[in-house]
Chain A
Amino acid sequence: MSLMPFASSRPLTLGVELELQLLSCNDYNLVSSAPDILRRVAKHTHPGDIKPEMTRSMIEINTSVQQEYAALVEELSALRKTVSDAGRFLNVAVAGGGTHPFQHWSEQKIFDAPRFHYLSELYGYLAKQFTIFGQHVHVGCAGPDEALHLMHMLSRYIPHFIALSASSPFVQGHDTGFASARLNSVFSFPLSGRAPFVLSWSDFEAFFAKMTATGVVESMKDFYWDIRPKPEFGTIEVRVCDTPLTVEVAAAIACYIQSMSRYIMVEQRTPPEEDDYLVYTFNRFQACRFGLEGIFIDPRSHERRTIREDITAMLNRIGDHASELGAVEALEQIRKILSAGNGASWFRRTYAREHNLGDVMQLQAELWMGN
């Protein structure tokens, strides 16, 4: 199967996908209620899309194509309301966050659909381990070469997105010490990591043809890269974020990526280099492990600073682009995260106060559902 042609999309349009946790209101453990929730939401009209995910304790909400922060927040809020109302009707709580803190992966049940059964068959327990919850952000690109350019330029700032969204400190009942432990589960997939360093779509097609010829992949869906092109939408898809604890933060991070993309497209003239990736995994690890306090090494100047400092510097550079895009409020949200901390620090603070992971999850669900 060859790669489909890259559809054109309006540059800097946005689409957000959020994977959400379904929790039992009895113990706030994950509950396999996705079929019930989906049956319920199908009865009501809502914007965007609500879809099943790998295991039955997850659902995914997708926005339609958006341009601005305010409209994005509005659509996400409407989706949140639809899902939350269905949840209340069924005694199921809905929450953000990248991992569930005390679920056991072996108790998760694969959603009954051919693709999920195929993946479960192929990946074995990794499929159930994949009961983790991420935010994907699509950014529209005028053409395929522009998309690859933006993808490689944004790769340098992957630690920003990880640290801002990080909300998965606990796994299987224990504090992992990581801000985002979710990504550790992603890394165990054989085709995770980063896209190859090719800058033209024809080279990318050649790479894809070689990979399909080996029989390792069939479609772009088989690549679990941190950022990947999505030819049928004409977008690149940033996939490193944990699902944040509120829709406002999710929208803010999407618009931060959007503003940064505009800065890259309009202002940053230097082309990407293969050597930019020398520090890639180091920086990414620092972001996962230490969040905003992690070390960021600039691939070109070799300067070291904290990720928080690097984000602050970035915010100052992209302010004008944000006002062009109507995303000033989004950057305010990002500044708030820099001072008040990300989802992982909220989680640890709350756990220190409540001493009970079930109670923390109830509060996390209240935060997300807005009640």
Chain B
Amino acid sequence: MTWSSYLPLWPLSVSPALWLALSLVVGVLVGEALVRYANLPRIVGYIGIGLLLGPGGMGLIPQLPAAEWRLVVDLALGILLFELGSKVNLRWLKANPWLAATSLLEAGASFFAVLLFLVWFDIPSVTAFVVAAISIATSPAIVVRIVTESRAQGQVTDRLLLMTALNCIYAVILYKIAVAFMHGETGTDLVHSILAPLYLISGSALLAWLFGVTFERIHHYVGRHEETFSFVLFGMIAFATIMASTLKLSPILVLLAAGLITRYQRQRPRSFPPHFGSAGAVLVVLMFIANGLAADLSGLRYGLLVLLLIVVRSAAKLLSVLALGHYSGIGVRQTVALGIALVPMSSVALLLTLDTSTMFPAFGAGMGLVLMSCIVILEIAGPIVMQKALKAAGETPEEKT
């Protein structure tokens, strides 16, 4: 027997998972400290730690293998999207058509404002199309997290959930069309440019519907045992996410639609533990840390473009909500709060940006970096702004005196 058979070799060769574990511990502790001493949302701590320790910051944590990470992010986002969908009552759109109008106006305004601005800035129109599509989406991850954490309820919260779910759907569909155009430009048949989004929408809808039906059957048998049911649901979400990727559908669309369909079919809301139990909650925390790790602020060298992009997008959202707020039945204060709360960007935008950069390296080296910087800024500032907006709207519990 030699030393080396039972003692580790120096220098230690550690797996990246060790750093991940460590960043989880530190991130959660920092998140708690933020809540306790600064009254800020926890997720700012999670993203911040990822950003600080990761390749984009001090570089203590090396670049993690993309495939493993992607699974964690996809699963966590799947959980949050399904959660979002199941909190949204689509019947409300029928009772209050002004909501549908507000949602369409808000998405349309964000899209065209960003598109025109970028074209004016001499960005190629196809690239501008992709960025404009991505910038429609409000971050479902941040919305669900902040609403859960701040225990917000009321008109602004309900509208925020509804409009976020809808603008994510618009964003993903338009994004796929934009990507199809991009492919067209780099030399593919027009047929494929049309069929690709068509396959995406119908395929995702079918998978989401199957999910919904299965969900109902299973809930019928084990729904009473909340914990058991959470486990099953968790497995189903993972299955649907992976299945969607395998079929080259959009996991974002599938999980969001599945949540919406489930809520619509049964008509009765159900209450689940946040993120369907602690396993889901851990994944959600890891996802935010991963978002921080993936953050890349090198686009800040186009500082003015980044800043203006944020301003244009935020103004489009705020002004369009303000235009119709009165008709849809809320006051000015609530309308402003809603407009501000719609600003955050995070996982959905991040994943779409990364996917585009993988497909089109030129995008990743140029406009992709600019967009990435916008996302990082809105990911850190977004949760804080959203929390303050919900509080100003009077939708969070009053502080105990």
User: Which residues of A line the B interface, CB within 8 A?
Assistant: 24-29, 31-33, 35-36, 39-40, 88-91, 106-107, 109, 355, 358-359, 362
- 28 pairs, A vs B, C-beta closer than 8 Å: A25-B89, A25-B92, A25-B269, A26-B87, A26-B89, A26-B158, A32-B154, A32-B395, A33-B154, A35-B331, A36-B329, A36-B331, A39-B331, A40-B329, A88-B95, A89-B329, A90-B96, A90-B329, A91-B92, A91-B95, A91-B96, A91-B155, A91-B158, A106-B400, A107-B397, A355-B224, A358-B268, A362-B269
The chain B residue with its CB closest to the CB of A109 is: B398
Chain B positions 216 through 258: 1 when the CB is less than 8 Å from some CB of chain A, otherwise 0: 0000000010000000000000000000000000000000000
Q: Which residues of A contact B398 (CB under 8 A)?
A: 109
Q: Which residues of A contact B362 (CB under 8 A)?
A: none
A35 to B393: give the CA distance in the assembly, Å.
Answer: 12
**Do residues A109 and B92 form an inter-chain contact, with CB atoms below 8 A?**
no
Chain B positions 190 through 211: 1 when the CB is less than 8 Å from some CB of chain A, otherwise 0: 0000000000000000000000
A-B contact sample (15 more), CB < 8 A, given A36-B154, A36-B329: A25-B92, A26-B87, A26-B89, A26-B153, A26-B158, A27-B269, A28-B269, A31-B153, A31-B154, A33-B155, A36-B155, A40-B329, A91-B89, A358-B268, A358-B269
Report the minimal beta-carbon distance from B151 to chain A, rounded to whole angstroms: 8
B271 at the binding interface (Cβ < 8 Å): yes
Report the minimal beta-carbon distance from A163 to chain B, rounded to whole angstroms: 31
Report the minimal beta-carbon distance from A95 to chain B, rounded to whole angstroms: 15
A40 to B398: give the CA distance in the assembly, Å.
Answer: 24
Q: Which residues of A contact B96 (CB under 8 A)?
A: 88-91
B330 at the binding interface (Cβ < 8 Å): yes
A40 to B400: give the CA distance in the assembly, Å.
Answer: 30
Q: Which residues of B contact A39 (CB under 8 A)?
A: 329, 331
A242 to B63: give the CA distance in the assembly, Å.
Answer: 64
B57 at the binding interface (Cβ < 8 Å): no
**Do residues B394 and A36 form an inter-chain contact, with CB atoms below 8 A?**
no
**CB contact between B153 and one of A29, A40, A362 (< 8 Å): that residue:** A29
Chain B positions 151 through 162: 1 when the CB is less than 8 Å from some CB of chain A, otherwise 0: 001110010000
Task: Name the residue in A29, A91, A106, A362 with the highest tally of chain B Cβ atoms < 10 Å from its Cβ.
Answer: A91
Q: Which residues of B contact A26 (CB under 8 A)?
A: 87, 89, 153, 158, 269
The chain A residue with its CB closest to the CB of B159 is: A91
A33 to B155: give the CA distance in the assembly, Å.
Answer: 7
The chain A residue with its CB closest to the CB of B89 is: A25
**Do residues A24 and B153 form an inter-chain contact, with CB atoms below 8 A?**
yes
Report the minimal beta-carbon distance from B140 to chain A, rounded to whole angstroms: 16
Task: Name the residue in B92, B158, B331, B400 with the highest tally of chain A Cβ atoms < 10 Å from its Cβ.
Answer: B158
The chain B residue with its CB closest to the CB of A90 is: B329
Report the minimal beta-carbon distance from A117 to chain B, rounded to whole angstroms: 13
Q: Which residues of B contact A29 (CB under 8 A)?
A: 153
The chain B residue with its CB closest to the CB of A104 is: B397
Q: Which residues of B contact A31 (CB under 8 A)?
A: 153-154
Report the minimal beta-carbon distance from A22 to chain B, rounded to whole angstroms: 10
A109 to B153: give the CA distance in the assembly, Å.
Answer: 12
The chain B residue with its CB closest to the CB of A25 is: B89
Given contacts A31-B154, A89-B329, contact A362 B92 (CB under 8 A): no
A305 to B329: give the CA distance in the assembly, Å.
Answer: 53
**Do residues A358 and B331 form an inter-chain contact, with CB atoms below 8 A?**
no
Count how many chain B residues have C-beta atoms less than 8 Å from C-beta atoms of the other chain. 22
Report the minimal beta-carbon distance from A102 to chain B, rounded to whole angstroms: 10
The chain A residue with its CB closest to the CB of B93 is: A91
Chain B positions 329 through 364: 1 when the CB is less than 8 Å from some CB of chain A, otherwise 0: 111000000000000000000000000000000000
A77 to B270: give the CA distance in the assembly, Å.
Answer: 30
Q: Which residues of B contact A27 (CB under 8 A)?
A: 269, 271
**Do residues A90 and B155 form an inter-chain contact, with CB atoms below 8 A?**
yes
A54 to B270: give the CA distance in the assembly, Å.
Answer: 29
**Do residues A109 and B158 form an inter-chain contact, with CB atoms below 8 A?**
no
A268 to B400: give the CA distance in the assembly, Å.
Answer: 54
A355 to B268: give the CA distance in the assembly, Å.
Answer: 13
A90 to B87: give the CA distance in the assembly, Å.
Answer: 15
A28 to B154: give the CA distance in the assembly, Å.
Answer: 12
Q: Which residues of A contact B87 (CB under 8 A)?
A: 26
Given contacts A28-B269, A91-B89, A91-B158, contact A36 B400 (CB under 8 A): no
The chain A residue with its CB closest to the CB of B328 is: A89
Q: Which residues of A contact B269 (CB under 8 A)?
A: 25-28, 358, 362
The chain A residue with its CB closest to the CB of B94 is: A88
A106 to B399: give the CA distance in the assembly, Å.
Answer: 10
The chain A residue with its CB closest to the CB of B330 is: A36
A88 to B158: give the CA distance in the assembly, Å.
Answer: 13
**Do residues A32 and B394 form an inter-chain contact, with CB atoms below 8 A?**
yes
- Interfacial residues of chain B within 12-55, with CB under 8 A of chain A in the complex: none
Report the minimal beta-carbon distance from B274 to chain A, rounded to whole angstroms: 12
Q: Which residues of B contact A106 (CB under 8 A)?
A: 400
The chain B residue with its CB closest to the CB of A89 is: B96
The chain A residue with its CB closest to the CB of B400 is: A106
User: 3 closest pairs, A vs B, by CB?
Assistant: A88-B95, A91-B92, A89-B96
A27 to B272: give the CA distance in the assembly, Å.
Answer: 10
Q: Which residues of A contact B154 (CB under 8 A)?
A: 31-33, 36
Report the minimal beta-carbon distance from B178 to chain A, rounded to whole angstroms: 33
A109 to B331: give the CA distance in the assembly, Å.
Answer: 18
Report the minimal beta-carbon distance from B390 to chain A, rounded to whole angstroms: 13
Q: Which residues of A contact B155 (CB under 8 A)?
A: 33, 36, 90-91
A107 to B268: give the CA distance in the assembly, Å.
Answer: 23
A89 to B158: give the CA distance in the assembly, Å.
Answer: 12
A359 to B269: give the CA distance in the assembly, Å.
Answer: 8
Report the minimal beta-carbon distance from B18 to chain A, rounded to whole angstroms: 40
**Do residues A358 and B329 form an inter-chain contact, with CB atoms below 8 A?**
no
A33 to B329: give the CA distance in the assembly, Å.
Answer: 12
A227 to B224: give the CA distance in the assembly, Å.
Answer: 44
Q: Which residues of B contact A90 (CB under 8 A)?
A: 96, 155, 329
**Do residues B95 and A358 form an inter-chain contact, with CB atoms below 8 A?**
no
The chain A residue with its CB closest to the CB of B326 is: A39
Q: Which residues of B contact A91 (CB under 8 A)?
A: 89, 92, 95-96, 155, 158
A193 to B96: give the CA distance in the assembly, Å.
Answer: 45
Report the minimal beta-carbon distance from B166 to chain A, rounded to whole angstroms: 14
Given contacts A29-B153, A36-B155, contact A358 B397 (CB under 8 A): no
Q: Which residues of B contact A359 (CB under 8 A)?
A: 268
The chain B residue with its CB closest to the CB of A357 is: B271
A40 to B95: give the CA distance in the assembly, Å.
Answer: 14
